[in-house]
Amino acid sequence: MRLSEFVRSKGASALATTFLVVWSILANAHAEEPQTSSAKTSDKIERRPSVALITLDGLPATFLRDPGVSLPNLRKLAARGVAAEGMTVSNPSVTWPNHTTLITGLHPATHGVLFNGILSKPGLGLPPKTDPKQDGRALVAVPTLFDFAKEAGLSTAGINWPCTRNTASVDDNMPDVPEFFLNSSPRLLEELKASGVLTDELIANFYKYSGTVRDDMWAAAAVHVIRERMPQFMAIHLLNVDGTHHKYGPRTPGGDAAVAYIDTCLGRIIDAIEASGNGANTTIIVTADHGFIAIPQTIRPNVKFKEAGLLTMAGNRVESARVYAIPEGGIAMVYLTVPDTKAQDREKVVELFKDHTGIAAIVQPAEYAALGLPDPADNPAMADLILVAKDGYGMSAIATGDEVVVASDTTLGTHGFLSTNPKMNAILVMAGRGIQPGAKLGNEKTPGIVRNVDVAPTIARLLGIKLPQTDGRVLEEALQTLTP
């Protein structure tokens, strides 16, 4: 019985109950999957070069070598391939921008994704908002590996991958959006229902269940696609470690249980690839979008703006805002919404937060290019300033109350800090076709360290396709000489 079936049958949706289930199944790490229509998957899979890109959202680089963290499947994969000591990520170090970097090889300055959604500005003096319910083409300004693979005649699949809603170049698509089932590929959706992976009850209550149940379903969906028609390029995003680290913080009992379970999901996917008949022709790349930092304290910039008369409230709602902060974990994107007062408002923000408790830096547009971020003149969604928190502090959009710095309550861990912070480094493990086992990644200046912009050009090389533009490099040191 898969975990999601157990939880549904017992009516258990709380994380605490799920963690007990997790530990009870660890002895049998690879959960039984629903049977597909073919008894022998390997008989129907065409042998061809394939790449499976798997992200374990929010898994820090240090976890791979931490004996206190249960990652047997990931370590087994690393032992037969290569592993970076760390992978630097893009700014802002949040999920959708970095997942887009992984499949473009470009920083957000070029690919355009700055949030887990699209920023909208409703008008002068009004607070901007973000909306995740958008198509991939509206979010991403450049072609992705999905597009280039499809142009080259390769088959593709995306499971819970950000910024892919209604993307025609993803053959089997279950995008990372609210109400994903309304935007998934009809063929895939029908097959998952027929096989029992996805039920009407699970769809109706999907976001009421814990993130563990959701990861269980996404892993089962990935296994189904692999068994039915192993894609030549597949991208899979597992999310619960991120959500649990946000709630409890990294290296906590809850966080460690989430990591242990996501490793079992990874094991199921790896096993399916090996059993597909195309395992010898497949490269498996496991990575993450960012690391994590515990945040016992939270900064509320909008409370400060309210005190300074730059923001007004109507009850608990922000009514107007000449200045407004949108948090992205360890940073706050600050918007100056009235052109006539922008210069003085910029000075006021600096005055308010210079030497403020918990603030490490105030970043101005002249510094954006060095961080891989666009100028607001080129991308209107970009902030006018960025407030950067110190380690141990996160940012909040809350504008109610009088305290600017408070003890963290519902969020005890976060990311979003500048990518120069080594705690934001993510894992990177590669194994399988084309990978030289035991190779040392990095260069003389940064031994063991690679960048997430290097992943897409490396995948392109493995698949025999070309990227016309990239901020990264092919990780030549990790590759064997490939034959068609």
Q: Is the pLDDT of residue 3 over 90?
A: no
What domain range includes position 17? 3-106+142-292+422-478
Tens digits of residue pLDDT in 123-143: 999 999 999 999 999 999 999
Q: How far apart are CA 313 and CA 110, in angstroms?
A: 36
479 CB neighbour count, 10 Å cutoff: 18
Q: How far apart are CA 434 and CA 280, in angstroms?
A: 10
Report residue 27's pLDDT band, with 50, 70 and 90 as the boundaries.
Answer: very low
Report residue 468's pLDDT band, with 50, 70 and 90 as the boundaries.
Answer: very high
Average pLDDT over residues 456-479: 98
Q: What CATH number did the domain enclosing 14 receive? A: 3.40.720.10
Average pLDDT over residues 155-168: 99
Report residue 301's pLDDT band, with 50, 70 and 90 as the boundaries.
Answer: very high
Both 320 and 429 in one domain: the answer is no
| pTM confidence score | 0.93
Both 385 and 273 in one domain: the answer is no
The residue from 388, 414, 440 where one domain ends is 414
Tens digits of residue pLDDT in 331-387: 999 999 999 999 999 999 999 999 999 999 999 999 999 999 999 999 999 999 999
Cα dihedral 162, 299, 258, 60, rounded to 10, equals 70
Residue 447 DSSP label: B
- In a domain, residue 313? The reply is yes
Angle between helices 15-25 and 3-10 (to 10 degrees): 130
The pLDDT of residue 457: 99
Tens digits of residue pLDDT in 37-55: 444 455 555 678 999 999 9
- In a domain, residue 308? The reply is yes
Q: How far apart are CA 177 and CA 365, in angstroms?
A: 30
Q: What is the CA radius of gyration of the chain?
A: 22
Structure tokens at 220: 């089962």
Both 170 and 208 in one domain: the answer is yes
Report residue 34's pLDDT band, with 50, 70 and 90 as the boundaries.
Answer: low
Q: What is the total residue count of the chain?
A: 484
Q: How many domains does the chain have?
A: 2
- In a domain, residue 407? The reply is yes
- In a domain, residue 130? The reply is no
Q: Is the pLDDT of residue 13 over 80?
A: no
Q: How far apart are CA 470 and CA 19, in angstroms?
A: 41
The pLDDT of residue 244: 98
Tell the residue number behind the tokens 């499809």, with chain if given.
150
With contact defined as beta carbons under 8 Å apart, do 248 and 10 qualify? no
Lowest mean pLDDT, pick from 17-26, 299-308, 445-454: 17-26
Average pLDDT over residues 88-92: 99
The more confidently predicted of residues 8 and 221 is 221
The pLDDT of residue 64: 98
Tens digits of residue pLDDT in 202-221: 999 999 999 999 999 999 99
32 CB neighbour count, 10 Å cutoff: 10
Both 255 and 329 in one domain: the answer is no
The residue from 396, 414, 432 where one domain ends is 414
Lowest mean pLDDT, pick from 15-19, 75-79, 289-293: 15-19
Angle between helices 15-25 and 253-275 (to 10 degrees): 50
The pLDDT of residue 48: 86
Q: Is the pLDDT of residue 290 over 80?
A: yes
Report residue 17's pLDDT band, with 50, 70 and 90 as the boundaries.
Answer: very low
Q: Minimal CA–CA distance to 64: which of 51, 54, 53, 77? A: 77
Both 254 and 310 in one domain: the answer is no
Both 201 and 57 in one domain: the answer is yes
Lowest mean pLDDT, pick from 104-113, 218-227, 429-438, 473-482: 473-482
Average pLDDT over residues 236-242: 99
Both 157 and 270 in one domain: the answer is yes
Both 78 and 203 in one domain: the answer is yes
- In a domain, residue 446? The reply is yes
Residue 52 DSSP label: E
Surface-to-core class of residue 26, CB atoms within 10 Å of its CB (0-12 exposed, 13-18 middle, 19+ buried): middle
Both 22 and 152 in one domain: the answer is yes
- In a domain, residue 484? The reply is no
The pLDDT of residue 23: 41
- In a domain, residue 301? The reply is yes
Please report, rounded to a whole number, the percentage of residues in the chain having pLDDT higher than 90: 89
With contact defined as beta carbons under 8 Å apart, do 86 and 276 qualify? no
Report residue 174's pLDDT band, with 50, 70 and 90 as the boundaries.
Answer: very high
Both 329 and 442 in one domain: the answer is no
**Which residues have CB under 8 Å from 398's CB, separation 6+?**
300, 302, 303
Average pLDDT over residues 91-106: 99
Under DSSP, is residue 93 helix (H, G, I), strand (E, B) or coil? coil
The pLDDT of residue 409: 95
Q: What CATH number did the domain enclosing 311 receive? A: 3.30.1360.110
The residue from 414, 447, 467 where one domain ends is 414
Looking at every residue in the chain, the average pLDDT score rounds to 93
Q: Tell me the β-bridge partners of 50.
A: 282
Beta strands in 345-476 (DSSP E): 359-363, 385-389, 393-395, 405-407, 413-414, 428-432, 449-451
Both 302 and 277 in one domain: the answer is no
Host H or E run for residue 212? helix 211-229
Both 198 and 90 in one domain: the answer is yes
- In a domain, residue 112? The reply is no
